[in-house]
Structure 1
Amino acid sequence: MNVLDRPWALIAEREISTKLRDKTFIGSTLVMLFIVMVAVILPAILAGRGGADKIAVIDDAGAKVVQQASTTQGGDGYEVVRVADRPAAEQQVTDGDVKAALLPGPDGYVVLGKDRVDAGIESALREAAAAVGMEANAAKAGLTPEQLHSGTKVDVQLLKPGPLPDLVSQFVNIGLALVFYMTALGFGMMIAQSVVQEKESRVVEILAAAVPIRSLLWGKVLGNTVLALSQIVVIAAASLIGLLATDQADILEVVAPVAGWFVVFFVLGFVALAGLWAVAGSLATRQEDLGSTTLPGQMILMIPFFFSVFAGSSAKTVASFVPIASSMSMPGRMLTEDVPIWQPLVAIALLLGATVLIVRLGARLYERTLLQTGRRLGYREALALESR
Structure 2
Amino acid sequence: MNDRSLDRPWMLIAEREITTKLRDKTFIGSTVVMLFIVMVAVILPAVLAGRGGADKIAVVDDAGAKVVQQASTTKGGDGFEVVRAADRPAAEQLVTDGDAKVALLPDADGYIVLGKDRVDSGLEGALREAASAVGMEKNAAGAGLTPTELRAGTNVQLELLKPGPLPDIVSDFVNIGLALVFYMTALGFGMMIAQSVVQEKESRVVEILAAAVPIRSLLWGKVLGNTVLALSQIVVIAAASLIGLLATDQADILEVVAPVAGWFVVFFVLGFVALAGLWAVAGSLATRQEDLGSTTLPGQMILMIPFFFSVFAGSSAKTVASFIPIASSMAMPGRMLTEDVPLWQPLLAIVILLAGTVLIVRLGARLYERTLLQTGRRLGYREALAIKAT
Q: Which range, TM-score by smaller chain?
A: over 0.9
Q: 1:223 aligns to what?
A: 225
Q: Which residue of 323, 330, 333 corresponds with 2:332?
A: 330
Equivalences for residues 286-365 of structure 1 within 5 A = 286-365=288-367
CA distance in 2 between counterparts of 1:387 and 1:200 reads: 22
Displacement of 1:120 in angstroms is: 1.1
1:104 maps onto 2:115 in alignment: no
Q: 1:69 aligns to what?
A: 71
- Counterpart secondary structure, 2:370: helix
Displacement of 1:387 in angstroms is: 1.2
Displacement of 1:289 in angstroms is: 0.3
User: Counterpart amino acid of 1:197?
Assistant: Q
User: Counterpart amino acid of 1:21?
Assistant: R
Displacement of 1:31 in angstroms is: 0.2
Q: Which residue of 376, 379, 382 corresponds with 1:377?
A: 379
TM-score, length of structure 1 as denominator length: 0.99
Displacement of 1:2 in angstroms is: 1.6
Q: 1:136 aligns to what?
A: 138
TM-score, length of structure 2 as denominator length: 0.99
Taking every aligned residue pair, what percent have the same amino acid on both sides? Answer: 88
Q: 1:186 aligns to what?
A: 188
Deviations 1:286-331 (A, max 9, x none): 0000000000000000000000000001000000000000000000
Deviations 1:44-79 (A, max 9, x none): 000000000000001010000000000111110000
CA distance in 2 between counterparts of 1:169 and 1:331 reads: 11
Displacement of 1:118 in angstroms is: 1.1
Q: 1:195 aligns to what?
A: 197
Equivalences for residues 17-32 of structure 1 within 5 A = 17-32=19-34
Equivalences for residues 89-100 of structure 1 within 5 A = 89-100=91-102
Displacement of 1:106 in angstroms is: 1.7
Q: 1:204 aligns to what?
A: 206
Equivalences for residues 8-87 of structure 1 within 5 A = 8-87=10-89
User: Counterpart amino acid of 2:165?
Assistant: P
Q: Which residue of 1, 4, 7 corresponds with 1:2?
A: 4
Displacement of 1:386 in angstroms is: 1.3
CA distance in 2 between counterparts of 1:13 and 1:71 reads: 64
- Counterpart secondary structure, 2:170: helix
Deviations 1:115-153 (A, max 9, x none): 011111101000000111111111110001110111110
Q: 2:125 aligns to what?
A: 123
CA distance in 2 between counterparts of 1:118 and 1:59 reads: 23
CA distance in 2 between counterparts of 1:36 and 1:143 reads: 57
CA distance in 2 between counterparts of 1:272 and 1:119 reads: 45
Q: Which residue of 147, 151, 154 corresponds with 2:153?
A: 151
User: Counterpart amino acid of 1:53?
Assistant: D
- Counterpart secondary structure, 2:379: coil
CA distance in 2 between counterparts of 1:2 and 1:115 reads: 56
Task: Identify which range, 135-144 or 301-310, moves more after superposition.
Answer: 135-144
Displacement of 1:224 in angstroms is: 0.1
Equivalences for residues 225-240 of structure 1 within 5 A = 225-240=227-242
CA distance in 1 between counterparts of 2:94 and 2:40 reads: 30
Deviations 1:155-193 (A, max 9, x none): 001001111100000000000000000000000000000
Equivalences for residues 276-287 of structure 1 within 5 A = 276-287=278-289
**CA RMSD of superposed structures (Å):** 0.5
Deviations 1:185-227 (A, max 9, x none): 0000000000000000000000000000000000000000000
User: Counterpart amino acid of 1:7?
Assistant: P
Q: 1:167 aligns to what?
A: 169
For structure 2, which runs of at least 5 residues remain unmatched after alignment? Answer: none
CA distance in 1 between counterparts of 2:71 and 2:381 reads: 68
Q: Which residue of 261, 265, 269 corresponds with 1:263?
A: 265
- Counterpart secondary structure, 1:361: helix
CA distance in 2 between counterparts of 1:197 and 1:82 reads: 69
